[in-house]
Structure formats: C-alpha cells, structure tokens
Amino acid sequence: MSGYLEGILVLLAVNIVYAYGAFLPLAAGQLNIGLAGFAAIGAYSSAYVSNVYGVHPLIAIPIGGVVAALIALVVAVPVLRTRGIYLALATFALGQVVQASLLNMSAVGGAAGYPVTAFIRLPVVVGFAVVVMLLVWLLFTTRFGIAARAVHDDERVADLMGIEVRGFQVAAFALGSLISGIGGGIYAHHFSFIEAQYFNITLSITIVLYVLLGGTQTVFGPLIGAAVFTLLPELLRGSANWRYVVFAAGIIMLMALRPQGLITGGMLRRLFDWRDPFVKSPGAAKERVT
Amino acid sequence: MTAPNILELENVHKQFGGLDVIDDLTFGVRRGSRTALIGPNGAGKTTVFNLITGVYAVDRGRIHVDGVDITHVPSSRRVDHGVARSFQNVRLMPHLNALENVIVGQHSRNRGFFGVLQPVNLTRNNRWKEEARAALHDAGLGEYERAAVGSLPYGVQKRIELVRALMAHPRLLLLDEPAAGLNPAETDDLQRQLRTICEQGDVTLLVVEHDMQFVGALCEHVVVISFGKKIAEGTPKDIRQDRRVQEIYLGTPPSEPALKKEARRAS
Amino acid sequence: MLGQQIVNGVMLGSVYAMVAVALTLSIGVLNFLNFSIPAMFMIGGMATWAFIHAGLPWPLAVAAAMVVVGIASLIVELFTWRWMRGAEKFVPLVSSMAFLILFEHLAIALYGSDLRTVNAGFSQVDLRFGGLVIGIPQLIGLVCSIVLIGCLSLLLNRTKLGRALRTIAEDSDTALLLGVNINRVVPIVFVVAGAFAAFAGVIFALNYRQVHPFMGEVVGLKGISAMIIGGMGNIWGSIVGGLVIGLVEVLAIGYFGADFVDIAVFGLLLLILFLRPTGLFAGMTTARGGI
C-alpha cells in the first residue's frame, strides 16, 4: 500500500473516531465545542503513560480515553447545569483552559511539543476506529440510544416518561469525551509527536461541523461526515488551507439548504423500508378501522 | 385497605409571579372512575396536571396518588407511582419514529443499567419492541410503526401519544384535551376506546376537556375550576344545571330557552 | 508598576470591550451568538495591514479595511440569517462558526500564517504622567471606543432605528406586526457589529503593530469572555467585561507569565458560567438579553 494511501486511511480513521466523540453529546442535544481539549487529554495522558512507563499503546490509548472521561465526569456536573448556548460556551472555555494548561506543562514538553516513542501502524489505527464505530452503533440500538435522542428532542417530556435526563446527559458527555480521548491517543501514537497548538478551537469546531455535515439523526451520519471531510478534499488538490475554505463554504451552503445533514432518519427509512411489510404510504391510512 | 380515591389534591396552592394560579384546590378522584376537569380558558387546568406530574412544585398543600404522598417526589419518578399523561399540543419526539416513541413510554418499567442497555432496536424479536409493536397494532396504528411522527396527521399523532402513555402501565391517566382537533367520528372512537381502556386495564381517567358532549358521554364525574379555585363538583348533569358553572361560562345566568336547549342536547 | 499595568489593562480592555459589544449586540437583538465576530476582528486588523503594505496611508487603509469588513458582514448575514430556512435553532450559530474557519483559512491561504508587522506610518508618542506611560495612540483608541459605544447606546435608546432593534430583541414577530422592516434592519445589526469588531482589530493593529490570521482566535475569542462577564445583551456591561478581561490578562502576564493568560481568561469565563452565567449585570437585562 502506498504511503499516500496509508496516510489518508489513518486520517480517515482518526477523523471517524473524533466524529463519534462529537456525535455522542450532539445526539443528546449538547453542542460540545471543547472536544479538542478532551482529545488533548487523551493524547497527552496516553503518550505520557507509554513514554514514561512503557505501557503498550493498545493499553495506553484506552487509558488516555478513561482519563479524558474521568475529567469529563468531574466537570460534567457544573457544566451540564448550564443550558443551550451557555453549555456550548462552557465547553468552549473548557477546551481553551485545557489547551492552555497543556502548553504550560513542561513535564509533557510545554510549547515545544511532546514526542511519542511507541508507534502504532495503520491496521491498529483502523482497528480502533472500527471498534469505536461498532460500539457506538451497538449502544444506539439499545434503549440508551432511544433515551438519548428523546432527551435531545424534548427534555421535559423525556423527564416525565421517567428518563433521568441529567444522567443521560452526563453519560453522553463523558462517553463523547472518552471517545475523543481515544482519538487523541491514536493520533499521538501514529504521528509520534503532539503539541498543544494542534488541539485548538478550530479543531473542535471542524469536528462538530463535519459531524453536522453527515447528520446527527442516525449513527451513520458521523461516518459519512468524516469520510466526506477527509476524502473529498483529496479530489481537489491544493493547499490544506484552501481545502478548509472550501469545506467551510460547503458547510455554510449545507446549513442554508439542508441543515439536517446528508444522512437523515427519513433517508434511511426510504433506503431500507423495502423490506418492512408494514410501511404503507400515508394515503392508505384513512381506511383503517379501530 | 386501599384508599377509595386514587388521586387526592389537598389545599394545593400555586403562585406565579405574585398571581395565584391555583388557589386552595381540594378534590379527589375515585379509583376506576372517569373524571373530567373543566373550566374556562386560563382556569388553571393544565397547571393542575403540571402539579400532579411534578413539572411544577406546589407552594402549599399536598398531592396523594394511590395513598402515597407524592408532593415532593421528583418529576421523573412520578411515573413510578402510576401517573402518566398526554399533552395539550401533542408532544411526540420528532426525531423518533412511532414505534420508538412508544418504546420511550416503556422507559419507567425498564430503568437501571441493564434496562437501558436492552438492545431494543437490534433484533426484530426483542420483547420490548414486540410489546410496543403489539400496542400500536391493537390501537390500529400498526402501519405507522416506522413513520416519522412529524409528518403524520394530527389525529394519528394523538393516538400514538395515548399508546405511549399507556406503555407505562399507569393507574392514573391524565389526558389534556384528548378530543381537541378531532372530528366527530374520531371523537366517538376515542370515547369508546377510553372506556375500554378504563374497564379492561383498571385505569382511572382524569380528563381536561372543553368538548362538553365528549365529557357527558365519557365521564361520570366532573370537577369545575375557575381562576384556580374549585367552583363545583358532581355528575355531568348536575354540573350542567349548576348556576355558578353557567355563570362562569356564559357570563350571566342563561335564559330558560337556553337551558332547555342544553338539556335536550344532552339527552 | 501596578499602576502601569492597570493603564495597560484598560487600554487592552477597550479592544476587548469593542468585540464584546459586537457580540452582545448580536445576541441581544438577534438572539444569536455570532462566532464570525472574532473573524471580523481579524479581518479588520489584517486588512489594515494589507492595505498599508500595498502603499495606502493608514487613514485610507483603515477606511478600506472597514469597507471590506462591511461586505464580509453582509455576506455573513445572508448565510446565517436571511437565507437560512429557519429549520433548527443551531443553524445560525453553526454557520457563523463555519465563517470563522473560512475567513481564518482564507487569510492564511492569501497571506501565510506568519506574524506581520504593521508600519503604521506614525510614531509612538507617549504621555508621561506621574510615573505612568500612556501611549497617545492607545489613548486615542480608548477614547474612540468609548465614543463609539456611547453613540451606539444613544442610537439604541433615542432613535427610531434603536427602537426597532429593541423591539426585535423583545419579540421578532411583534416587531413584524408593528411594521418594523426586519429585512432592512437586520443587515444593519450585522454591519454595525462587524464594524465594532473590525474597529477593535484596527486599533489592535495600529497600537500593537502586530497582526496574524489567528488573531481572531487568540484575541477575538476572549471577547466572548468579556461579553459573558458583563452580561449577554448588555452594552455597558460589555465595557466592564472588556476592562475586566484586559486587566486580568495584563495582571496574569505580570505576575504569572505570558503562558498563563489563557488559563486566567478562560478559567474566569468558566467560573462565571458555573456561578453566575447571566454575568455581573444580570439585573439590567431581560430574560433573552435586552439591550
């Protein structure tokens, strides 16, 4: 496999993991623009553990995810007491504080960055991405998925149905941070070097944007969003910066024309309903008798 | 011995910004009965529902459900005491299909770590999914299983909401204007359906309604409130003839011909 | 020493105050957190540099930069407000975030990511006053900011346009019924907000003599902190918020070193969001964020 293709696949895998990290809170109705902060926590803690204690990346990366999740749990209580725009701003402030703190931690290199000795190859990176995808898909087939989406749609009614709204919000927030942390850990152990400057607000916003591009109504949306974001620009040669310009312009067009994203619940229904005998067109409804 | 009244409101008081929205309200709902809560617009009927379900906390007074004082029980736990409700403007989850909306209704019976991780959407034969599917079918809504609820006709949405409320296996069912927006045929269907639910399922019904014909056909007992105070209580016939009730609805006591016309319409 | 830092903090604070005012205007009138405002800050600064670099004298460069920002604001208005289908509430916010990314990377693509020095063409003159050094250009910047914010406040409270804006802030449906021409008024909000942010960028460029495509991210985003501290939708609160952030930043550099600035500024934002999210002047704003 050519080095170029390998590079694309790695990027795709990392972006997919980041995407699912964003998907969890978004599906539960939270706009989290501090994801880069949790990716950074995962990246730095997994790199530290594998550099200093020689822990194998296959274990260090999940540890990084767990550290990110634990920190998320600690801040979740005050953060999730805020609502809507305040929540988004709190996650934003959180991401900035994390980035700034890591910039100052000389134990992990500070502003000069932190080299990572252990290395994981493409199959491992892809393996992590596939595992994350499968676990999120599975999770969303459970009552958790239905409850999280109910919380996203109507917190008040979800609460009256007996759903512990705050509990689900914290769970979605923490799980999203766990996955983002794993994304950071994968990045660290493949690119062999991490710096706090990379985990900035632009990264957080970009991730949220391509997840919204794919659509948050279904579990396939993040995959499509990450794929489009990673692969489409390869078709347009040109510098990385022009690709971002085109991507951002695309998002703006999308929000104006189809804000629910590329993959919606309705689209999936239409794609898969040929095998469901119970679906008829709405016109047939009137003849039914109670 | 179980309490004869499944719902008791005792001197309930609620204030919003200095305004007494519910004023010293006391009434009971007999177990197994079909009771209506009526009153002019702004009387506070939906507020009563919100107090019973815990959306608002009472300022003073108590609420008992099935003998248990639920005044301080958090709203997400009230369904565990057997209270379920529908909403004035149908509030289904727009991004879930009909079946999933009904599955949401089962949540209270399926809490806890293992309940939440039930793979309801993974296989076709999961028992919770089957239960929800059967309920939709029994209500004649089977074909809407996978439909996006937002695009369904209003009447269909209301019926789905009723199925969702029943999924919690409630003992007390609060329905907020269930007949609103329904045509006469649908209203008749609903009235019969609710009778059946009450008789077969041992469910007590408390209905907020404006449609007096519907109330007369369905309910044995009526509670009238106005400006947050109880004005009258009794059978639909008693209420129709009660002067105080007529006053609050019509402004002035009605004339004899109007009364006779009402009496004829009711029979 | 402390006195000098306070002076520096106030000067810097006026920059943050302008950005905060721009943000608060958008939130107050349109109930929309406009993430492209920090980008307008950057465009104001970088366009000033670019025009000076191209040979224009600084007053013309500033004017040209403001025109560029005005056009950019109108483009943003089209795509975050006018043409959005009203689908979901998050659409304007998300589009504005996309604009932030777009403008930032456009600047990098056009000019590279390096720091650029602004040769303003006027020299730095200082006022020495009881041991304190006060830069004249900085002082002029501060005075201009105060005057502009004062004018905005007058506009909002005394003019017909201001009444229209406040009506939209209360209830846009009622505003329509009352005959407010929303399609004419909303672009004005975007342009004015963009102008305030851009003017802050111009002051920053001329006073601190450094611009780069990330200045929206590094400096402009701190305006969000200032806005929240002052209370969303509150113009005079934004000034206080801006001054607070300016002071916090300068004092943080002074006592802890430049590395701690962001921790201090955003840590403070986090704290306020946890403890008193409505800001210092909660009492003066309406539930949605009145002006």
Q: pLDDT tens digits for A168-220?
A: 999 999 999 999 999 999 999 999 999 999 999 999 999 999 999 998 888 99
In three state form, how does the secondary structure of B67-133 look? CEECCCCCHHHHHHHCEEECCCCCCCCCCCEHHHHHHHHCHHHCCHHHHHCCCCCCCCCCHHHHHHH
Q: Which residues pair with B175 in a beta bridge?
A: B207
Tell me the pLDDT band of A19, cut-offs 50, 70 and 90: very high
Structure tokens belonging to residue C21: 């005012």
Amino acid occupying residue A23: F
Tell me the pLDDT band of B254, cut-offs 50, 70 and 90: low
**Pairwise CB contact (< 8 Å): B107 & A161:** yes
Average the pLDDT over each of A235-244, B34-43, B108-117 and give the range with the smallest value. Answer: A235-244
Does some domain include residue A252? Answer: no
What pLDDT digit, counting tens, does each position of A28-58 carry? 988 899 999 999 999 999 999 999 999 999 9
- pLDDT recorded at residue B168: 93
Query: Residues of A with CB below 8 A from C90's CB?
Result: 31
Q: How far apart are CA C202 and CA C193, in angstroms?
A: 14
Cβ–Cβ < 8 Å for B49, B78: no
* DSSP secondary structure letters along chain C: -HHHHHHHHHHHHHHHHHHHHHHHHHHHHH----TTHHHHHHHHHHHHHHHHHTT--HHHHHHHHHHHHHHHHHHHHIIIIISS-S--TTHHHHHHHHHHHHHHHHHHHHH-SS-EE---SS---EEEETTEEEEHHHHHHHHHHHHHHHHHHHHHHHSHHHHHHHHHHH-HHHHHHTT--HHHHHHHHHHHHHHHHHHHHHHHHHHH-EE-TTHIIIIITHHHHHHHHH-TT-HHHHHHHHHHHHHHHHHHHHHH-GGGHHHHHHHHHHHHHHH-TT-TTGGGS-TT---
Question: Who among A154, A163, A285 is closest to B76 (CB)?
Answer: A163
| Strand ranges in chain B using DSSP code E only, listed in sequence order | 5-16, 19-30, 34-38, 60-65, 68-69, 83-85, 172-176, 204-208, 221-226, 229-234
**Pairwise CB contact (< 8 Å): C93 & A31:** yes
Q: State which fold the B5-82+170-266 domain adopts.
A: Rossmann fold (3.40.50)
> pLDDT > 70: what percent of chain C?
94
Interface test with A, best of B95, B102, B192 (most A CBs within 10 A): B95
Q: Which residues pair with A115 in a beta bridge?
A: A193
Contacts of B42 (CB under 8 A, 6+ apart): B227
- Strand B172-176 versus strand B83-85 pairing type: parallel
**Pairwise CB contact (< 8 Å): A164 & B76:** yes
* In the predicted structure, residue C157 carries a pLDDT above the cut 70: yes
- Check residues A257 and B55 and name the one with the higher pLDDT: B55
Question: Who among A78, A100, A249 is closest to C102 (CB)?
Answer: A249
**Pairwise CB contact (< 8 Å): A138 & B91:** no
**Pairwise CB contact (< 8 Å): A154 & B142:** no
User: Using CA atoms in the order A171, A174, A177, A178, what is the torsion angle rounded to 10 degrees?
Assistant: -90
Average the pLDDT over each of A70-74, A283-287, B85-89, C201-205 and give the range with the smallest value. Answer: A283-287
User: Using CA atoms in the order B125, B127, B130, B135, what is the torsion angle rounded to 10 degrees?
Assistant: 180
Tell me the pLDDT band of B44, cut-offs 50, 70 and 90: confident
A150 at the B interface (CB within 8 A)?
yes
**Pairwise CB contact (< 8 Å): A252 & C267:** no
Does some domain include residue A195? Answer: yes
- pLDDT recorded at residue C180: 77
Does some domain include residue A157? Answer: yes
3-state secondary structure of A185: helix
A-contacting residues in B 140-169 (Cβ below 8 Å): 140, 142-148, 151-153, 156, 164, 168
* In the predicted structure, residue B253 carries a pLDDT above the cut 60: no
Cβ–Cβ < 8 Å for C126, C134: yes
Average the pLDDT over each of A120-124, A235-239, C191-195, C262-266 and give the range with the smallest value. Answer: A235-239
Residue B250 CB neighbour total at 10 angstroms: 11
Does some domain include residue A41? Answer: yes
Contacts of A21 (CB under 8 A, 6+ apart): A35, A38, A39, A176, A177, A178, A179, A180, A181, A182, A183, A207
Q: Is A54 exposed, middle or buried (0-12, 13-18, 19+ CB in 10 A)?
A: exposed
Q: Tell me, what DSSP letter sits at residue A219? A: T
Domain region containing A39: 3-200
Structure tokens belonging to residue A270: 């239409």
List domains and CATH numbers for chain C: 2-284 (1.10.3470)
Question: Who among A101, A201, A251 is closest to C98 (CB)?
Answer: A251
For chain C, the average pLDDT equals: 86
Question: Who among C105, C267, C270 is closest to A241 (CB)?
Answer: C105
What pLDDT digit, counting tens, does each position of B178-207 carry? 988 888 888 888 898 899 888 887 899 999
In order of B187, B202, C100, the CA distances from A239 in angstroms are 65, 70, 18
Query: Residues of B with CB below 8 A from A288's CB?
Result: 140, 143
Does some domain include residue A149? Answer: yes
CA-based torsion, A266, A272, A273, A277: positive or negative: negative
Q: How far apart are CA B261 and CA C266, in angstroms?
A: 72
* In the predicted structure, residue C291 carries a pLDDT above the cut 50: no
Averaged pLDDT for residues A234-239: 71
Tell me the pLDDT band of A104, cut-offs 50, 70 and 90: confident
CA-based torsion, C106, C109, C114, C120: positive or negative: negative
**Pairwise CB contact (< 8 Å): B146 & A278:** yes
Does some domain include residue A290? Answer: no
**Element counts in chain B: helices (H) and strands (E):** 11, 10
Tell me the pLDDT band of C218, cut-offs 50, 70 and 90: confident
* Measured CA angle at B98 (ends B94, B100), to 5 deg: 85
- pLDDT recorded at residue B11: 93
Tell me the pLDDT band of B264, cut-offs 50, 70 and 90: low
Question: Who among B91, B107, B140 is closest to A154 (CB)?
Answer: B91
Tell me the pLDDT band of C83, cut-offs 50, 70 and 90: confident
Residue C281 CB neighbour total at 10 angstroms: 18
Does some domain include residue A74? Answer: yes
What pLDDT digit, counting tens, does each position of C110-149 carry? 998 889 998 877 777 888 888 888 888 888 888 888 899 8
Most confident of A121-135, B29-43, B250-264: A121-135
How many domains, chain A?
A: 1
Q: How far apart are CA C277 and CA A184, in angstroms?
A: 30
Averaged pLDDT for residues C147-169: 84
Interface test with A, best of C274, C275, C276 (most A CBs within 10 A): C274
Does some domain include residue A276? Answer: no
* In the predicted structure, residue C175 carries a pLDDT above the cut 70: yes
- pLDDT recorded at residue B28: 92
ipTM for the predicted complex comes to: 0.87
Tell me the pLDDT band of C214, cut-offs 50, 70 and 90: very high
Closest residue of chain C to A200, computed from CA coordinates: C217
Domain ranges of chain B: 5-82+170-266, 95-167
B96 at the A interface (CB within 8 A)?
yes
